[in-house]
Structures are given as structure tokens and as C-alpha cells.
Amino acid sequence: MRIVNTTQVPRSLLHYTLKVAMIGCLIFSGCQSKNEPQEKKTKVVTIQVKGSDTLVNVAQAWAEEYKKIAPSVDVEVSGGGSGVGIAALVKGTIDIATASRNMRPEEVEAAKRNTGKDAKEFTLGYDGLAIYVHKDNPMKEISMDQLAAVFTEDGTFTKWSQLGVTIPNVDDDAIVRVSRQSSSGTYEFFREHVLNKKDFKLGSRDMNGSKEVVELISNTKTAIGYSGMGYATPAVKMLHISPKTGEPAVPPTIENTITQKYPLARSLHLYTLGQSQGAVQQFIDWILSAAGQNILKENGYVPVQSTGN
Amino acid sequence: MPMTNNLDPAQRFTKTEFVVRKERIQSITKVLFAVMAISMIIPLLLIIGYLFYHALPSLSWEFLVEVPKKGMRDGGIWPAFVGTLYLVVISLAIAAPVGVFAAVYLNEYAKDNWFNRIIHLAVINLAGVPSIVHALFGLGAFVYAAEFGYSILSAALTLAIMTLPVIIASTREALASVPMPFREACWNVGASRWQTIRAVVVPNSISGILTGIILQVSRAAGETAPVMFTGAVFYKAVERGELFPYQLNEQCMALSMHLYTVATQVPNVKESIPYATAVVLLCSVLLVNAGAIALRVWLRNHKKW
Amino acid sequence: MNDMSESDRLPTLPKRSVVSMAGEKLLEFIIRLSGISAIVFVLAIFFFIFREAAPIFFSENFNLVKFLFNAEWYPTSVTNVRYGTLALTVGSISVTLLAMSIAVPFGLGSAVYISEFCSPRLKEALKIIIELLAAIPSVVWGFIGLTVMSRTIISLTGAPVGVNLLNGGLILALMSVPIIVSIAEDALKAVPDSYREAALALGATNWQVVYRVLLPSAKNGLLAAVLLGIGRSVGETMAVLMATGHAVQIPHGLLDSVRTLTANIAAELGEASASSDHYHVLFLTGVLLFILTFAVNLTADFVIRGIRRK
């Protein structure tokens, strides 16, 4: 009987792999117990920013730009929603929470209880929540009551004809409602201000990102949805909104948002725990400076101060 | 069919109606099945072609090593690419030894009893658990219970457990293909069980084991849901082409997650960027898989028994 | 034995040092430990997701019957919180059914073609392609659904929204075909060649062999293939998240958008703050999914083992 082995090469390969794997394991378990391999890059500071999906793109742009100004600061940006950002801040696991709604009293209290610090609020800008329709939709304005009748659980409007609109070249004029997934700050804001805290009608397409909302509407002639005004594209149209049927409609513009004439204007916030220091405070100062505010403006939001046109 | 009698050949070989029908059905079914097989391949080619076509304006070396710019609307994917490498390498470092050892146990040590059948079932079920359930597990176990927080470590551990069955299954198959006489011969010269495994079984199945490990890499690189909730971030500032930007307790970007975010969250992104991201992800995974296939073919051609 | 290149490397038993023996014992211990790791992990998965889900049973807003059989899903409502997953379950089932009604015939057909009809070279090529098809990451499939498939569906059917049940079903079908093919092909391969030879000797055509001999004798393996395909598509997350349109409703037609159990978790988990009711409910859906896929996989395994015993 001849048993020929498959050469020496795989054998040494095997030994090598096995040894590397074992050493890897050992090193790894070592790291695991310490969980702080800080030998490398001790000077780098990491700032964790988490929260609103509305603000995630702006936060990303800030992080990108800030890296050029302060190379030793790494900024981590994650989305998830205003509620998540605030919840993480309350637990003390992140440095900055971004939010498109105000922190609730019970959340402030919980933060105090968990970390012993007060949450500090910074208003960093404003946003108008725009109501989007397809660009071929002849509709120009909509009232808050009509919006509520379209979106609320017991709302009666399910067809465009009920809104007095005929959309050219479509067979089925059922309204395709586009919404956001529950517990995004935008969803909550819309529920509070348009639906008067009632629930949404089920069956809306609940998108995960503000961009997806606009994208879907740009492909669907019979769609209507809401999203930050920074997300507008040429394929969609922003409706003017009147506070009540019959009253004059207000377009979502920067001025109308600042003056709060636009009914769906909201302010955007940053929250930190206590008086933040060092890198975090510098980052926030930079955000509120002209450079940071310009980035906000480029992303379609309204700066908190007039940054010299 | 050597038919050598003198009957009228025409009569003998004329097909009866039965045979004609039978053969017609045969050819119809053959075509039908061929169409079915082809209709699986056509979409693959069409889709890859479509993705490539749309990705073309962005595809370049620069796209790979550049960091995202202008609010992720421009630039490249370096931080995401390197983040995926981190996750893959670390999850591999955990899954490979455990998986290979588990397979060695199942194939070389385990007797056929109820306990080992349960292990077998556990492996099968581990492979069948939906990725989102792994994500829930990773979140509950590593992020919260073990207090690793949202970090590369949590994400890699989740991925490692998720991809473990891939390694176990293919290593086991490779070990099982080593003929029993090899082991018996080795035992007969007085080698212990482990010595036999080390000196005979594993060297003869190393290519198969490596194939499994490679497949694990491809699987880990493509997964999104498990890393989304355990350690992948939307964005992290990283230098262009920087090789070691992350630490174990930090979060990282991941290619699969990056594709999801640029496709669904980033407004007014250049059209070709999500496509190019998809192509890079797809190509890395397919290349790794092709590597595994090549290795297997090589192994088959070099098998000496 | 004379050709074994490492025979010189193997020390004879009496010469082995204590350290080497102890090392071997240690290694074997590690091997055994790794061996049971799979069980540990499965139990740990169940333990941890159940642990995170359990507090919901003590919440006043929660009712198990409503959880399973109510179609109203309002996890964050201010006025009236409702956790009904029926619409999500129906969503998961309908997408899976649609996917299977496409993938099963095509998957089994391709498996038969690959195993019985084509030349060895073509067979090799097809198997490689199927393996590559199986390797495409689900987020890429989701992206395809969101872009290519959605546009195609809108232009072909005139549907108002391209991300819907049909889209998700097609994507899932393409995703689960490879697993069905490879397992079905294994099952066909497991039928002894003597069966085929006997049938061929009687003058049967390939198709007759398949229909009269192979399908009956491989039916358990084929069933297992279908079951695993189902398991795969029930558990699929990213692709359905991006391709099904994500609307909580019981679908009335192929062009309605739906939301599945998996996509629901993926979309809302990042948003639910830890230790809220919403968070616990999502883990409970996870438990539901875990049990569901566990049952499917277990059945598939029993079915496969059924053949082996025969």
C-alpha cells in the first residue's frame, strides 16, 4: 500500500496557520479582557455623535470637514433617530446627541439620575419639514387639515380626487402615502404637529431614510410624503402649506422657516451632558461658527444665525 | 448495438409511435430544464452587467482608496473598505480556530450517539438562524450584557458566531474525505489520535479546510444586518489610504452598511456612487469565492488517492 | 507506510515528554470544547434574545393573543400603543410563498438538468455559477431590488410603487434558488447509479428516469431542499427591507407593498431605545423568528436523515 502525502507545502502551511490562529486567539483573549488596546495613537480623541437621521448627513459633513481642521480628532457619526441618540446620551455612552425634537422632561431627569449631569442643549439650526409630491402633480398647496385627513388613522382621504386634484396619465388615483419608520424624530414631529398626536393610517410606505422618501416620490406620480426640505430634488415638488383650509399657503423657504410662518418649521438641536470640555466643546463651537453653519446651509437647512448671506 | 441479422432494417428500426412520443417528451423536457437552468444565470449576468454599466463613471483605484467627500456625495469608500477588512480578519481569527476544532471533534472524536447528534443539529440550526436574529443576539449579548458597547469587537464576535457553521461544514467535509486506511495506518505505528490528526488527516485535507475559511471570509464581508446594530457607523473620519484607522473598542464603517446608507440615506448623491459601491462589494465577495473554487479544483487535480 | 514523509517526525510513544503529552491533552480538551461550542452558541442565542424579550410579558400594553393575531402595529403611539404583528407575519408568509412558487420549480428543474441532462463540463460550469449566485450579499440584492427591479416593475406593470410584494418575491426567489439547487442536486446524486442503469436498460429516456425513478427515490432530499429554501427566505433581512416597500398592511395583490418580520426588526431596532417596551417587543419577534426557522431546519434535517436511514 502506498500512501502518498500531499507534499510538504501544505504541511508547513498548516503549521503556520495553526500557530498564527493560536497566537491570534491568545492575543485576542488578552485584548478582550482589557478591552482597551490603547498603545496606539494615544493622542487621538474620538467624539461620538449619534441621533437624528435628519441631521446625520450634516453631522457627517461636519465630521469630514473637522478632520481637516483638527486631524487629531476622530468623529464617529451614527444615525438611528433622535430617540436613540438621546437614549444613548442618557446612558452616557456618547458625547453628542443630535435631535430634531426637544428632549423630553423625563429624559432630562433620567440623564441626571444616570450620570449626575444636566443635559445641555444647543440649537444649531432650523429645518422646514416639506411635503413632497411628484413634479407632475398639479397640486400647489395643501392645508394642515387636508394633510391630517390623508395621513391620520381615521382620515377619510384616500384618493386624489377627494383633494380636488387630477393627476395626468394615471389610471389609479389612490394616494400613495410615504412616511418614515416610527420613532424617527421626523415621524414624531409630523405626528405631533399634523396629526395632533393621533396615529398614522397603516399601509403607508415607511421609509428608513429621508432620502428614500424623496426617491420613492420621484418615481411615483400618485405619492405624497414628508421629509426635510434639504432633501429636495428636481424630480419632486414641495407643496405650500396653509395652516387652515382657506388661509393663504406658505412656501417652505428659509425666511418663512426662521420666522416660523411656515407651519412645519422646527429647530434642530445638539445635546451634551454637563458643560462639555476640550475637544467636544471645540467641535461644538466650530459647528456654531460660520464655517460649521455654512455646511448646514449647504445641506439645505437654515442656519441659526445669519452667516453673512 | 451489434444487430447483424438480415431482416429489413427499415422495419426493424422504424420508431413506433410510443418511442416517438417518448423521445419527443424527452427532448421537450431537456429543453425545458435547460431553459430553467439558463434563466437563473441570465439574471446574474444582466444584473452584474447593469451594475457595472452604471458604476463605470466612478470605478477607479482612486474610488477605493479615497475617503468619502462632500457629505458622502463624492469621493471614495476607503473607510468602509478598511472597516470591512477589520471585521473580516477579526471574525476570522475567532471563527477559524473554533470552527476547525469543532469540525475535528465532530469528524475525528465524536461517536455516533445522541449527544453528538444534538451537536450536529445545533450546527445546522446555527446555520439557519436568520441574520437579523444574530444581530439581536449580538446586541443583547456583546453590546449590552458583555458591555463591549457598539464596537468592532462586538460586531466581529457576532459575525464569527454567524459564520462558524460555514467553516464547520466545509472542514468536516474535507476531513471526512480523507480515507480511513490513512488513519488506521498511522495508528498502527503507535501514533496517538491527535498525532494522527496533525500528521495525516489535516495535511491531507488542508485545501478543503482553507476553502471553508475562504467562504467564511466571503460571507462575513457581505453581511449587513449583524454589523448594523453592533458596531458599524454611518461615518467615521479616516485618512485617505490609512491602513490602521480603527481600534477594537471603536466603531467602524463597513462596506455593506455603507452601500445601504448611500442607497437610502444620502441625498443628491452622484448616481454612479452607490452602484460603484455595490460593484466593489460584489466583486470582492465573488473574487474571494472564485479563489475558493480555484483552490478546490486544484485540490481535486492533485489528489493522489 | 514507507512513503509517509512525516513518519520520521513522529516520536515513538516511550520517548514523548510529559510536556508534549500534557499539551496533547490540553489540545484535545480545547477540541472537545470547540465541539460543543455550537450547542453553547445556539443556547446562548436563545437565552439572550429571550432575556431581552421577557420583560414585555410584564408590560400592561402587551397581550400575547393580540401580538400574534392583531394587524395593528403602532409601537410608538402616544395615545394607543398596539403591538400586533399579524400584518408582518402575513407579509413574511406572502413574500416567502411567492418566492417559493418561483424558486421551487426553477430550482428543482435546474437541479434535474444539472444532475441528469447536461455534459460533465457544463455541469461543472453551472455548479460554479450557482455557487457564485449564492455568494452575492443580501444588501446587494436589496440594492438591485431598489433600483433595477423597481424600475422594471413600474415600467412593465404600471404599478404606482416599484418596491412591493412582487419585487421582494422575485429577489428572494433569485436568492433562494442556489440553495435549493445545490441541495436538490445532492439528493439526486445520492440515488444509486444502479437505479438509473436499470431504468435505462429497460429503454427509458432520461426524462422517464427522472420522473419515474429519481423523483420518487429522492423525494425526501428534494423536500429538504425546499424546506431549507423556505428557511432562507423567511430569515432574509436586508433584501426584503430594501425591496418590499415596507408598509404595514395585509396585501391584497402582488403590487401591494408589505413589511416582513425581519425587515421590521432591522428598521426599528436601531430606533428603539434599549429597555423600552418597543425594544422588548422587537426581541420577541426575534424569538418568534428563531423558533420558526428552528422548526423548519429541524424538519429539514429529519427529512434528510430519513433518506440516509433507508
Q: Could you read off the pLDDT of C223-254 as tens digits, one per residue?
A: 999 999 999 899 999 999 999 988 898 998 88
- Indicate whether A230 pLDDT > 90: no
Is this model's pTM higher than 0.95 or not? no
- Work out how many domains chain A is built from and give that number: 2
Residue of B65, B169, B198, B119 whose CA lies nearest to C24: B198
Average pLDDT of chain A is 80
Distance CA(A25)–CA(B158), nearest Å, equals 16
* Grid coordinates of A282: 471645540
Residue type, A244: K
- Indicate whether C102 pLDDT > 80: yes
Domain-located, residue A106: yes
Same domain, A141 and A72: no
Mean per-residue pLDDT, B289-298: 88
For C78, the closest chain A residue by CA position comes to: A197
Domain containing A199 equals: 128-265
Summarised one tens digit per residue, pLDDT across range B141-175 is 998 888 888 899 999 999 999 999 999 998 998 99
Quickly state the pLDDT bin for A27 (edges 50, 70, 90): very low
**What pLDDT sits at residue A7?**
36
Distance CA(B251)–CA(B261), nearest Å, equals 16
Same domain, A225 and A299: no
A67 contacts B265? CB cut-off 8 A: no
- Indicate whether C307 pLDDT > 90: no
B148 contacts A35? CB cut-off 8 A: yes
Quickly state the pLDDT bin for C19 (edges 50, 70, 90): confident
For A9, the closest chain B residue by CA position comes to: B203
* Interfacial B residues in 74-113 facing C (CB < 8 Å): 97-102, 104-106, 109-110
- Indicate whether B2 pLDDT > 60: no
Mean per-residue pLDDT, C157-167: 88
CA distance C9 to chain A (A): 12
Q: Could you give the domains of chain B?
A: 78-254 (1.10.3720.10)
For cell 514507507, what's the residue?
Answer: C2
Distance CA(B122)–CA(A116), nearest Å, equals 46
B182 contacts A61? CB cut-off 8 A: no
**What pLDDT sits at residue B6?**
60
A64 contacts B235? CB cut-off 8 A: yes
A11 contacts B237? CB cut-off 8 A: no
Summarised one tens digit per residue, pLDDT across range A267-305 is 888 999 888 778 899 999 999 998 889 888 888 888 886
Chain A contact partners (≥3 CB pairs within 8 A) = B, C
**What pLDDT sits at residue A189?**
87
For cell 481600534, what's the residue?
Answer: B247
Residue of B283, B285, B290, B122 whose CA lies nearest to B211: B290
Contact by Cβ (8 Å): C56, C62? yes
Distance CA(A186)–CA(A256), nearest Å, equals 19
For cell 382621504, what's the residue?
Answer: A157
Summarised one tens digit per residue, pLDDT across range B224-248 is 999 988 988 888 888 887 888 888 8
**What pLDDT sits at residue A92?**
81
**What pLDDT sits at residue C308?**
61
Instruction: Select the residue of B202, B244, B265 nearest A14 (Cβ to Cβ).
Output: B202
Domain-located, residue A19: no
The dihedral region occupied by B242, where left means phi > 0, alpha psi between -120 and 50, and beta the remainder, is beta
Give A-chain residues touching B90 at CB under 8 angstroms: 28
| Residue A143 β-bridge partners | A242
**What pLDDT sits at residue A261?**
86
* Grid coordinates of A20: 498564527
DSSP E strand stretches across B77-180: none
Mean per-residue pLDDT, C296-307: 82
Could you give the C-alpha distances from A101 to A109, A126, B227, C133, in angstroms and in order?
Answer: 17, 11, 28, 44
Contact by Cβ (8 Å): A145, A244? yes
Other beta carbons within 10 Å of A255? 10
User: Does the beta carbon of C245 lie under 8 angstroms from any beta carbon of chain A?
Assistant: yes
Summarised one tens digit per residue, pLDDT across range C252-267 is 888 889 999 999 999 8
Taking each helix axis from N to C end, the angle separating A290-298 and A278-288, rounded to the nearest 10 degrees, works out to 60
Residue B16 is given by DSSP the state P
Which phi and psi angles does C279 have, rounded to 5°? -60, -45
Same domain, A122 and A271: yes
Give B-chain residues touching A300 at CB under 8 angstroms: 267
Mean per-residue pLDDT, B167-184: 91
Residue C258 is given by DSSP the state B
Domain-located, residue A98: yes
**What pLDDT sits at residue C41?**
94
Instruction: Select the residue of C72, C151, C247 nearest A205 (Cβ to Cβ).
Output: C247
Q: What end-to-end distance do the CA atoms of chain C give, in Å?
A: 37
CA distance C36 to chain A (A): 18
Contact by Cβ (8 Å): C129, B44? yes
CA distance C47 to chain A (A): 22
H or E element, residue A77: strand A73-78
Other beta carbons within 10 Å of C60? 7
Distance CA(B277)–CA(B258), nearest Å, equals 8
Domain-located, residue A36: no
* Grid coordinates of A288: 456654531
A46 contacts B71? CB cut-off 8 A: no
Residue of C179, C174, C156, C158 whose CA lies nearest to C243: C174
Domain-located, residue A22: no
Which phi and psi angles does C303 have, rounded to 5°? -60, -45
Residue of C283, C252, C295 whose CA lies nearest to C57: C283
How many residue pairs bridge chain A and chain C with CB atoms within 8 Å of each other?
103
Summarised one tens digit per residue, pLDDT across range A233-280 is 889 999 999 888 888 888 888 888 888 888 888 888 899 988 877 889
Tell me the three state secondary structure of residue C260: coil
**What pLDDT sits at residue C14?**
60
Which phi and psi angles does B279 have, rounded to 5°? -65, -40
Instruction: Output the domain CATH number for residue A104.
Output: 3.40.190.10
Tell me the three state secondary structure of residue A127: strand
Quickly state the pLDDT bin for A51 (edges 50, 70, 90): confident
Domain-located, residue A31: no
Quickly state the pLDDT bin for A183 (edges 50, 70, 90): low
Same domain, A157 and A254: yes
Same domain, A132 and A230: yes
Tell me the three state secondary structure of residue B75: strand
C142 contacts B260? CB cut-off 8 A: yes
Domain-located, residue A200: yes
Summarised one tens digit per residue, pLDDT across range B241-285 is 788 888 888 889 999 999 998 888 887 788 889 999 999 999 999
* Grid coordinates of A227: 421629509
Residue B267 is given by DSSP the state T
CA distance C230 to chain B (A): 10
Quickly state the pLDDT bin for C15 (edges 50, 70, 90): low
Query: What percent of chain B clears pLDDT 90, i.e. is strictly above it?
Result: 38
Please list, in sequence order, all residues whose beta carbon lies within 8 angstroms of the beta carbon of residue A132, skipping any fewer than 6 positions away.
A178, A213, A214, A217, A224, A225, A226, A227, A232, A236, A237, A238, A239
Contact by Cβ (8 Å): C184, C225? yes
DSSP E strand stretches across chain B: 68-69, 74-75, 235-236
Domain-located, residue A248: yes
Residue of C98, C141, C99, C145 whose CA lies nearest to C245: C145
Summarised one tens digit per residue, pLDDT across range C276-288 is 888 899 999 999 9
Three-class secondary structure assignment of chain C: CCCCCCCCCCCCHHHCCHHHHHHHHHHHHHHHHHHHHHHHHHHHHHHHHHHHHHHHHHCCCCCHHHHHHCCCEECCCCCCCEECCHHHHHHHHHHHHHHHHHHHHHHHHHHHHHHHHCCHHHHHHHHHHHHHHHHCCHHHHHHHHHHHHHHHHHHHHCCCCCCCHHHHHHHHHHHHHHHHHHHHHHHHHCCCHHHHHHHHHCCCCHHHHHHHHHHHHCHHHHHHHHHHHHHHHHHCCHHHHHHCECECCCCCCCCCCECCHHHHHHHHHCCCCCCCHHHHHHHHHHHHHHHHHHHHHHHHHHHHHHHHHC
Quickly state the pLDDT bin for B4 (edges 50, 70, 90): low
CATH match for C89-277+285-309 among 1.20.1740.10, 1.10.3720.10, 3.10.440.10, 1.10.10.10: 1.10.3720.10
Contact by Cβ (8 Å): A153, A161? no
**What pLDDT sits at residue B45?**
85
**What pLDDT sits at residue A16?**
53
Contact by Cβ (8 Å): A268, A286? no
Q: Which residue has the higher pLDDT, A2 or B164?
A: B164
Distance CA(B17)–CA(B15), nearest Å, equals 6
What stretches of C113-212 show up as alpha helix (H) in DSSP?
Answer: 120-135, 138-144, 150-157, 165-189, 193-201, 206-208
Other beta carbons within 10 Å of C212? 12
**What pLDDT sits at residue A1?**
37
Q: What is the DSSP string of C173-187?
A: HHHHHHHHHHHHHHH
Residue A231 is given by DSSP the state G
B69 contacts A1? CB cut-off 8 A: no
Within chain C, which residue ranges are assigned CATH 1.10.3720.10? Answer: 89-277+285-309
**What pLDDT sits at residue A22?**
47
